[in-house]
């Protein structure tokens, strides 16, 4: 697995760690954690379609998380970075 995938996995772990504080009282936090765990698992078998779906999901998650940005700054920063990485990776992925 490439070094950049390992960096992205660490960024996902940072998001999960930050969101874990809120999962007891926020269904959105639980959903985000579940999605991030699925994305992390699928990184080893990423194709163009999965990446496009992930980009759309990250855009939606980012939009929904805006009101809570001050409580989850690392997640907001990492979500943007992960989305940008996926967009950059898209052309080199198999269909």
Whole-number pLDDT of residue 16: 97
pTM score: 0.89
Question: What does the block give as tokens for 59?
Answer: 């855009």
Whole-number pLDDT of residue 19: 96
Instruction: Please list the pLDDT of the chain residue by residue as tens digits (95 residues).
Output: 577 999 999 999 999 999 999 999 999 999 999 999 999 999 888 999 999 999 999 899 889 899 999 999 999 999 999 999 999 999 999 99
Report the distance separating Cα 43 and Cα 1, nearest Å.
9
Whole-number pLDDT of residue 80: 93
Q: What angle separates helix 73-89 from helix 3-19, to the nearest 10 degrees?
A: 150
Nearest to 57 by CA among 37, 45, 44: 37
How many CA atoms lie within 13 Å of 32's alpha carbon, on the beta-carbon side?
29
Contacts of residue 60, Cβ cutoff 8 Å, sequence gap at least 6: none
């Amino acid at each position: 697995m490439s070094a950049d995938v390992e960096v992205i996995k660490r960024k996902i772990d940072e998001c999960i760690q930050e969101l874990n504080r809120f999962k007891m009282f926020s269904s959105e936090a639980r959903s985000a954690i579940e999605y991030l765990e699925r994305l992390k698992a699928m990184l080893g078998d990423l194709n163009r379609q999965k990446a496009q779906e992930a980009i759309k999901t990250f855009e939606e998650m980012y939009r929904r998380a805006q009101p809570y940005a001050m409580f989850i700054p690392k997640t907001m920063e990492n979500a943007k970075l992960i989305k940008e990485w996926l967009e950059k990776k898209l052309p080199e992925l198999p269909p």
